[in-house]
Amino acid sequence: MRVAAVAMMLVLSACGTSATPTEASATPSAGTSRYTAAPTTAAPRHLPGSVVRVSINGVENPADVAVRDPGPGPVTIVLTFPFAVDRASVEKWGMSGQPTKTWLDDHTLQLVFAETEPSIGFKIAETLSASGDAVIDFVVVNVPRSSHVISVYTVADLAAAGFANLPRASGSWRVPASDGITLAPDGKRVLVYDGFGPLSGQVPAFVDLDTKATTSLTQPPTSDGWFSFADWMADGRLVMVGRGVWVGDTRAAGMKRVADAQALVGGYPWLALPDPSETRIAIWGYNSDGHVPVVDLSDGAVQMLTGPFRRCGQDAFASFAWSADGRFLAGTDCDFEEGPAKARVRIVDVAADRTVRTIEGGIMGIRGLASGDFIVIRDSGEMGAGYRLLGVVTGFDGQERSRYLGHAWWMSADHHYLLQSRFQPAGGPTYTLFDLVAGTNFDFGVPCGGRSEGGCPSPHWMRDGRLAFY
């Protein structure tokens, strides 16, 4: 009988759900669960980004909608959420620039961007409420800046930052201009003008970097642009090349049209390059025979170089370099618009208007150096993202001096440094600075502006050895 009872218990255990001894001792009524259900957490409510109030410099704007340029000065953005926020869910997201962040209360985040920060754009995803019962899927803020940032660095500024950090500029300003810009040698003002490209109607004017005071030039008129060249010469004179060649003093007083550049070129002037003494300027534009006029800046006298210096592709530029003594002008030339494979460098004796030397084949362009040599830019054979070009430093005797792998090159006025850019398929540009005296080098990067600001800035060596990016 005892054996039968044990057997019966084993059968019941095999046919039913296993149970603890306590559960087995109870006799549940029919239809009643043996277990207590685990508590469930309600999923958070999902809300659209439009529930966030966005204020830009005190003006309410719809979230997820691009706004107008807020103008000069710092930009203050206030985000007001409809609930108390789990702050960590917001602060984990990166933003363009380096704003100062302040929580005004549990619902409100204030972001202050410096005037010189690039175009502002960021997205905050999955903003959680402090209670966990609501989540905002994402909110997008875009604040374009159509003006340009000018940043000036010493070599020490750049070396101190290294490659891991963005350098701290010794001076940085935002200029209300969307076209041509040239920084004055004293670094205290800029000349803005209608630069090469689609006509913008920008009136030539000086802008004081500290006060933003704008003074329009009386000459040249806006109608003389676009201007393919605008800069100060070593003696302080201001030179501008549009339809004419204009020369005046450092404040643009007495600007005088010394030559008709358009008539001399036989087409619109695309580029102009002063000689090392900065008393003459060579002017190039697309024409039928590739001639180049050289204009004396004192009296407008012209020496015509027959070249020819013809472009190598539709809408392509020729490129030029002067020898240190101004006796020779080197420039690119192609028989037909077939690209760089058959391009050559032509070196011309300016006084004699005679070609004295050519460097044949595979020339993508040249860039003059302050040392009096020039860099011949060729295909390096590298392919894919981040490919580099071959820069061959060449003398006017046609002899190679040295080689570099990069994208573009600029030499300081004192020949002490050579700046090399490296092509970047994405992100901001990076550079290598070679100390040609010490034989050392270091890498650094600079921030890029937004598309409305013209993208990444270009480097410009100042006469005092500083580097300006704009």
Could you tell me which residue, 449 or 270, shows the higher pLDDT?
Answer: 270
In a domain, 441, yes or no: yes
| Residues 85 and 67 reside in one and the same domain | yes
pLDDT at 179: 83
DSSP state of 2: H
In a domain, 27, yes or no: no
Q: What tokens appear for 404 in the block?
A: 């570099």
Q: What tokens appear for 88 in the block?
A: 């960590």
Nearest-5° Cα angle at 391, 308 to 227: 50
> Sheet holding 430-435: strands in order across?
408-411, 417-422, 430-435, 440-445
| Residues 163 and 253 reside in one and the same domain | yes
Predicted TM-score (pTM) above 0.85: no
d(CA 337, CA 316): 9
pLDDT at 40: 53
Average pLDDT over residues 286-298: 96
Q: Residue 51: which domain range?
A: 45-143
Average pLDDT over residues 291-320: 96
In a domain, 10, yes or no: no
Contact 174, 72 (CB under 8 A): yes
Confidence of residue 36 (pLDDT cuts 50, 70, 90): low
Contact 240, 256 (CB under 8 A): no
| Residues 109 and 160 reside in one and the same domain | no
| Residues 271 and 314 reside in one and the same domain | yes
Give the end-to-end CA distance of the chain in Å, rounded to a whole number: 101
Phi-psi region of 326 (alpha: psi -120 to 50; beta: other; left: phi over 0): left
DSSP 92-105: TS--SS--EEEEEE
d(CA 247, CA 298): 8
Average pLDDT over residues 132-155: 91
Domain boundary among 95, 112, 143: 143
Q: What tokens appear for 361 in the block?
A: 């084949």
Q: Residue 446: which CATH number?
A: 2.130.10.10
Domain boundary among 93, 121, 143: 143
Domain count, the chain: 2
Q: Residue 80: which CATH number?
A: 2.60.40
| Residues 112 and 155 reside in one and the same domain | no
Confidence of residue 217 (pLDDT cuts 50, 70, 90): very high
In a domain, 251, yes or no: yes
In a domain, 20, yes or no: no
348-398 residue pLDDT tens: 999 999 999 999 989 999 999 999 999 999 999 999 888 999 999 999 999
| Residues 196 and 86 reside in one and the same domain | no
Domain boundary among 143, 178, 212: 143
Q: Which of 118-132, 199-213, 226-240, 440-454 has the highest mean pLDDT?
A: 226-240
315-342 residue pLDDT tens: 899 999 999 999 999 999 999 998 999 9
In this structure, the dihedral spanned by the alpha carbons of residues 263, 265, 270 and 276, taken in order and rounded to 10 degrees, is -120
Strands 45-47 and 134-143: parallel
| Residues 136 and 180 reside in one and the same domain | no
